[in-house]
Amino acid sequence: MPQYIKYSPEYILHRSGITAADSTFTSYDHGVNTSYYKKANIQVVPSGGANPTVNVMWWCESASKFINEHVAIEKAGIGANTPFEFTVDCLRRTMFVAVSAISTGSVDILVSGADLAHPE
C-alpha cells in the first residue's frame, strides 16, 4: 500500500469517453475552474487503441469561448493505450482540455490542482 500524503492531488474526471476530435469550445460550463491553484496536473487515459493529442485552452470572456495560448499547449500521445500526465501553469484561470486528434478508441481526461494560490 502506498504511503499517504496529506495534501496529495485529488483528480477529477474532466471528460470521459471521448471518441472524436473536438471542434467547438464555446461553453464555459465545460471548463475546469482552477481559481485556487497556480498549476494543474492533467492525466490523459486512452483505451481501445487510442493515441490522442490534447490541447489546453483558456476561457476568454470577451470572445465567449476557450482560446489557445499564443504558442498552443498541445501534447501528443506516447503510444496506443498509454496513459500520460503533464503539468501546466493554470494561474487561477478556467481551462478546457480539448482532444485535437484521435483516430480510434476513446480517452478520459482527469485534472487536479497543484501549488495553492493565495487570494490577493
Q: All domains of the chain, ordered by start, with CATH?
A: 12-116 (2.60.120)
How high is the pLDDT of residue 2? 44
Confidence of residue 7 (pLDDT cuts 50, 70, 90): low
pLDDT at 80: 98
Q: Report d(CA 57, CA 108) in Å as an integer.
A: 17
Distance of CA 64 to the CA centre of its chain: 19
Alpha-helical runs (H) found in 10-96: none
- pLDDT category at 19 given cuts 50, 70, 90 is very high
Segment 75-88 shows an average pLDDT of 98
Asked if the model's pLDDT at residue 119 lies above 70, the reply is: no
pLDDT in tens, 32-80: 999 888 999 999 999 999 999 999 999 999 999 999 999 999 999 999 9
Question: Looking at the predicted structure, is the pLDDT value of residue 6 above 90?
Answer: no
Query: Under a CB-based contact definition with an 8 Å cutoff, are residues 112 and 10 in contact?
Result: yes
